[in-house]
Amino acid sequence: MKSEDKQILCSLIRDHEDAVGSSRVTMLAINAFIESIRQVRCRVENIRDLYSELSLAIKDTEPKVIPLIHLIEEFEQEMNASTAETTDGIKDDAIRILQEKHRKIKTKVGKVIEHGLTCIAEGDVIIVHTLSFDVTNMLKLASEVLQKAFKVIVLKQDLSKTRRLVKSLSASGIDMEIIPEYSLGHHIEQGNKLFMGALSISEDMRVITASGSANVVSLCHLNSLPIYLFANTLKFSHRPSSQQRIHRKVEATTHGDLSFQLIKHSHDTVDLEHVDFLVTEEGIKDKGQIAAFMNGSKSGGEPSLPG
Amino acid sequence: MESALIPIAVFLLVYIALTMELVNKAVAAMLGVMILIALRVVSEHRAVEFIDFETIMLLLGMMSIVAILRKSGFFSIITVKIAEGTKGSPLKILILFSIITATMSAFLDNVTTVLIIIPIIIELTAGMGLDPKLFVISQAVISNIGGTATLIGDPPNIIIGSKAGLTFNQFMLNLSLPVIVGMAATLVFIWATNREKFRPIDTNLAKLFSVQLLLEKIRYNFLDTRIDKIFLAKALICLAVAILLFVTQTITKLSPGVVAMLVAMVLFVITRIEVEEMLVEIEWSTLLFFTGLFILVGVLEDKGIIEWIANNIFMRIGDNPYLLVLTVLWVSGIVSGFLDNIPFTITMIPIVRLMLESTPIPNNILWWALALGACLGGNLTMIGASANIVSVGTAKKMGQEITFLEFARKSVVIALITLAIASGYLMLYLWISL
């Protein structure tokens, strides 16, 4: 694969993750993989190499999209076991395996949402910062299906990131207030809990989450606001946070007569110790249970954690 | 002729100001008019008589319909569907987008078309690692070619249709063929001179994967507005009614201007749209520009200057109809490449009328020569047509800067090819008609 093709692929996954969250981007990437397998024309002797090459590129993105990497690793293993010998046979096997992976993450996300719904109570004022597929859908369901009355304080980041969340919440008629993320100090007393999503949870107990989250979590922690983290177990990484390859971008910026280099990071890292409740597809773990749950996942390789 | 010196000087100054973009074009035209009124060259009541309200009504009506259609999300749906249909094939991107650009330009307006098409085509091609500039230039020139096919497609046609009393159907019947052939030739030229860039990607799994993600990104970026289906249906039905009324103009006896304004007003009522919000979308400066130019050229005509130009420049070429048609076509084409084709067309209309009086040419062929020349000639340079300027501006905003020479390198040949096709068509048409 040409390095420019690799760069394009990497930036597309990063942009998408930034806009729709890691669970959603994982589902989209798997669908894209399936569609590209359907369309590709190649000889039978090359087809497995093509899959391996693409899998390698997907696993090598910056930052690492852990749920996607786990599912692609599973795909590789299962493809190695495939005995198909014709192009169509290999394609059929690949598509079937990927469809299974899509179902797997969808089920896990669905269960996280199901457990998460119990975290929303009547009269809650929930602070939301990160754009997470799980959190957005949970809030929508709580309002539309369960008819719960609650309010959301949306912390505005780049409008491109916040726009979808605001649109979704307003389409569901959820009472909300939008404030700049740096103004949370003025509104902290209004809120009674913080909901956040994550790109991954690393082996050294750090949460890789949206840029700006570290400040928000610190403020909430200082004000004893309970912090809920929604993450299915596919987001648990075997590697430390230093190996999550958080993307660093240096942008030449001009403001009037000022020109400078602006340094941006794609994600923040937050200590898992600051999280009060971890909501996975396996249920809700409180502060006391989180460490044990994470260690159990590590030592046992996580019952549902692959690769 | 002494009394003509002031209007000639004012007209030339306005033309210079327009060409060199010294002031806003509407301000330049209206300032010229005000100077003529202040110097008592023309009275305000006489000046108003020169305005072609038929053209103004058609422009205002179409701008209103397009503004409401844009709000309905219709254009976003169409362009995203086209992007999906290409499946990332560079050749399909060129062909499918060109077809939609040409069709939209023919039935709506060029500037709106490129404003919708250019961002999505840049997003798609840049995301795939292709050269977006080639696609931007191709869509700009195609929008000018497509707009040539109908009475409402390009401002010069609107003016010619109104002033010469030509119908929507006459434009379609007489101009569709050279436009379709010209468009096909343009696409072949773009493909043949850039074959490397149009290689299929269906053997490259990584590229196919990226395209799928890219299409998802495009859906996310361009389709995030909630579509109000009832609103959309009302807007589309009204557009269909407008086109039907344009086509049946000879039966209903309703002029295109009346049709456009009538449909626009009905749309305002049935969609219950915030009128103030929509009025902001109207290009008032363009309407003011047209108004000013009608008055300036009206004064020149009134003072006998247009007749003088016709007699001393165009009539000197003799009465050979073939030569007359080719002269109008190529002069219009070349001048439109460097000057704004709207004032040029307004100036040429009385000249063509005088030429027709002295040498009658059947089947309105001289009008078609003016329409084809003024519209297709706009492709000669980056500044030759509003659609070119808007396309290049939009591309620049998205980080794709296209220089005058880069644009000209492709567009000059395309303009010459299409003008040559138009020449062949008109010669054949004239030969059959005589």
pLDDT for the residue numbered B49 = 93
B290 falls in which pLDDT band (50, 70, 90)?
confident
Quickly list DSSP for B123-182.
HHHHHTTS-HHHHHHHHHHHHHHHHTTSTTTSHHHHHHHHHHT--HHHHHHHHHHHHHHH
User: Given an 8 Å threshold on Cβ–Cβ distance, is A167 in contact with B216?
Assistant: no
Residues above pLDDT 90, as percent of chain B: 40
Q: What is chain A's mean pLDDT, rounded? A: 89
Q: Is residue A307 pLDDT above 80, yes or no?
A: no
pLDDT for the residue numbered A300 = 43
Interface list for chain A against chain B, based on CB atoms closer than 8 Å: 1, 4-6, 8-9, 12-13, 15-16, 19-20, 28-29, 31-33, 35-37, 39-42, 50-51, 53-54, 57, 163-164, 167, 171
Among A94-98, A120-124, B4-8, where is mean pLDDT lowest? B4-8
| Chain A: residue whose CA lies nearest to B217 | A16
Q: Which of B129-161 are b and which e, b meaning 16 or more Cβ less than 10 Å from the residue's Cβ?
A: ebebbbbbbbbbbbbbbbbbbbbbbbbbbbbbb
Tens digit of pLDDT for each residue in B310-329?
777 777 788 889 999 999 99
Better-predicted residue by pLDDT, B221 or B262: B262
All residues of chain B having their beta carbon less than 8 Å from the beta carbon of residue A8 are 127-129, 210
In this structure, the number of other CB atoms found within 10 A of the CB of residue B432 comes to 9
Whole-angstrom distance, CA of residue B342 vs CA of residue B319: 27
A162 falls in which pLDDT band (50, 70, 90)?
confident
Whether the ipTM is more than 0.95: the answer is: no
B25 falls in which pLDDT band (50, 70, 90)?
confident
Tens digit of pLDDT for each residue in B201-212?
888 888 899 888
User: Given an 8 Å threshold on Cβ–Cβ distance, is B210 in contact with A39?
Assistant: no
pLDDT for the residue numbered B134 = 94
Among B69-78, B350-359, B392-401, where is mean pLDDT lowest? B69-78
CA nearest B305: which of B52, B42, B25?
A: B42
Please, is A214 exposed, middle or buried when counting C-beta atoms within 10 Å of its C-beta (0-12, 13-18, 19+)? middle
Alpha-carbon distance B215 to nearest alpha carbon in chain A (angstroms): 10
| Chain B: residue whose CA lies nearest to A50 | B205
All residues of chain A having their beta carbon less than 8 Å from the beta carbon of residue B213 are 9, 12-13, 16, 28-29, 32
pLDDT for the residue numbered B202 = 83
Q: Where are the domains of chain B?
A: 1-49+288-303
For A237, the enclosing helix (H) or strand (E) is: none
Q: Which domains does chain A have, with CATH numbers?
A: 3-107 (no CATH), 112-299 (3.40.50.10470)
B308 falls in which pLDDT band (50, 70, 90)?
confident
pLDDT for the residue numbered B23 = 86
Q: What is chain B's mean pLDDT, rounded? A: 88
All residues of chain A having their beta carbon less than 8 Å from the beta carbon of residue B208 are 35-36, 39-40
All residues of chain B having their beta carbon less than 8 Å from the beta carbon of residue A40 are 202-205, 208
User: Given an 8 Å threshold on Cβ–Cβ distance, is A35 in contact with B208?
Assistant: yes
* Over residues A185-195, mean pLDDT: 93
User: Given an 8 Å threshold on Cβ–Cβ distance, is B216 in contact with A16?
Assistant: yes
pLDDT for the residue numbered B67 = 85
Tens digit of pLDDT for each residue in B83-126?
888 888 899 999 999 999 999 999 887 877 888 888 888 888 88
CA nearest B339: which of B9, B10, B21?
A: B21
* Over residues B366-378, mean pLDDT: 95
Unique residue bearing structure tokens 């008019």: B33
User: Given an 8 Å threshold on Cβ–Cβ distance, is B205 in contact with A163?
Assistant: no
* Over residues B216-240, mean pLDDT: 80
Asked whether A283 and A296 are in contact (CB, 8 A), the reply is no
Name the amino acid, one letter, at B218. I
pLDDT for the residue numbered A235 = 93
All residues of chain A having their beta carbon less than 8 Å from the beta carbon of residue B224 are 163-164, 167
Q: Is residue A21 pLDDT above 60, yes or no?
A: yes
Substitution target in B92, B130, B212, B219 with the highest count of A β-carbons within 10 Å is: B212
Unique residue bearing structure tokens 């905003």: B397
Rounded to the nearest 10°, the torsion over CA B191, B386, B130, A18 is: -150
Residues above pLDDT 90, as percent of chain A: 59
Strands (E), chain A: 125-128, 151-156, 175-180, 193-197, 200-201, 206-210, 227-230, 248-255, 258-265, 267-271, 277-280, 283-286
Whole-angstrom distance, CA of residue A41 vs CA of residue A87: 9
